[in-house]
Structure 1
Amino acid sequence: MDASPLTQLHTDIDARVHFIRQDQPEWLCGKGCDNCCKRLADIPQLTAGEWALLQEGLTALPPAQLDLIATRITALGDSPARPVTCPLLDPASGACPVYAQRPVACRTYGFYVDRALGLYCRDIEQQVAEGQLDQVVWGNHEAIEQRLARLGPQRPLTAWFRDWQTECR
């Protein structure tokens, strides 16, 4: 049976991440590092497939935890102050409660580079500037964006969540 395009995209991303981590065991991006989750440029954007997967993860959460996430998402509104803190982030643990269902943008951050925009993470940028990561073969973020675009239009997490809440009422 063929994997869905989103599943195949996740598999390809996971392979690149594994490759980098294998050669760089001290890699900064890992459990407990939530710097990028606290400094988003904007509200996360998701395709319908990404939202469906994320919704599965959200549905599996305890009601109290989902209520806290709902409060944070609602508080973001349509024009949040920058930088944005991911409303899914558990501030106490610094972990994502829906890690297995996280969007493509979260899966690629720190391991893929948009050649025109740079590396994004200040800590990784510093290591690159110091020549510590010269041997890293980064993933091509532009190629990921092209594949993601073929999966359909993206909408802000806040819009997906608002529609879901309206349907549940």
Structure 2
Amino acid sequence: MTALSRLHREIDARVQNIRENHPDWLCGKGCDQCCRRLAEVPQLTATEWALLRDGLAALTPECLQEVSRKMAALGASAARPIVCPLLDSSTGACPVYAQRPVACRTYGFYAQRELGLYCHDIESRVDDGRLADVVWGNHDAIDHRLAGLGESRPLTEWFAGWESAGRGA
């Protein structure tokens, strides 16, 4: 088992535990608010990119062309917040959900308040006491483990390199 798959397994266990204990948890299928309000372009390690690239390669040509269009538009704009270029805007779903990066897997379940890495909708529930018993994941520990997987680069850079290589690399 790779270091990334071990990390995914641990994140998935925490997420499952939170969802089992809070069936009304906001993060789930149908909620795409975090995907529509990114502060920055997601950063991925080479290992995360390799997994995501496999998911992209399995998309239909039409879907991949739409992702490519969104990536190009994102690279040409400095507007914030950012809408994830992988988000299918019509369905609110991620077409590469199974291969999504760690940042996407942890959002809403791991908090890093100093950097604003938490869901404001969930924060309001915490503030009024409805989620007082939630054991949040430590995002700093996740970042430390990701750093051990190597340098991170923006998703747009990984994607541009893949496209320029003819989507074979």
What is the aligned partner in structure 1 of residue 91 from structure 2?
A: 93
Select which of 47, 59, 62 maps to 2:60: 62
Select which of 107, 125, 128 maps to 1:127: 125
Q: Deviations over 1:12-35 (max 9, x none)?
A: 000000010010011000001000
- Segment drifting more, 111-120 vs 6-15: 111-120
8 Å CA contact 2:36, 2:83 repeated in 1: yes
- Segment drifting more, 110-119 vs 13-22: 110-119
Counterpart of 2:90 in 1: which secondary structure? Answer: coil
Distance in 1 (alpha carbons) for counterparts of 2:76 and 2:83: 14
Select which of 38, 44, 48 maps to 1:50: 48
**Percent identity of equivalent pairs:** 62
Distance in 2 (alpha carbons) for counterparts of 1:139 and 1:91: 29
Measured on the aligned residues, the alpha-carbon RMSD in Å equals 1.2
Q: Deviations over 1:95-151 (max 9, x none)?
A: 000000000000000000115345521100100110110000111101000000000
Distance in 2 (alpha carbons) for counterparts of 1:79 and 1:51: 22
Select which of 17, 31, 34 maps to 1:33: 31
Structure 1 gaps, min length 5? none
8 Å CA contact 1:43, 1:157 repeated in 2: yes
- Segment drifting more, 79-88 vs 9-18: 79-88
8 Å CA contact 1:89, 1:96 repeated in 2: yes
How many residues get paired? 167
TM-score (norm 1): 0.95
TM-score (norm 2): 0.95
Distance in 1 (alpha carbons) for counterparts of 2:151 and 2:163: 21
Structure 2 counterpart of 1:151, which letter? L
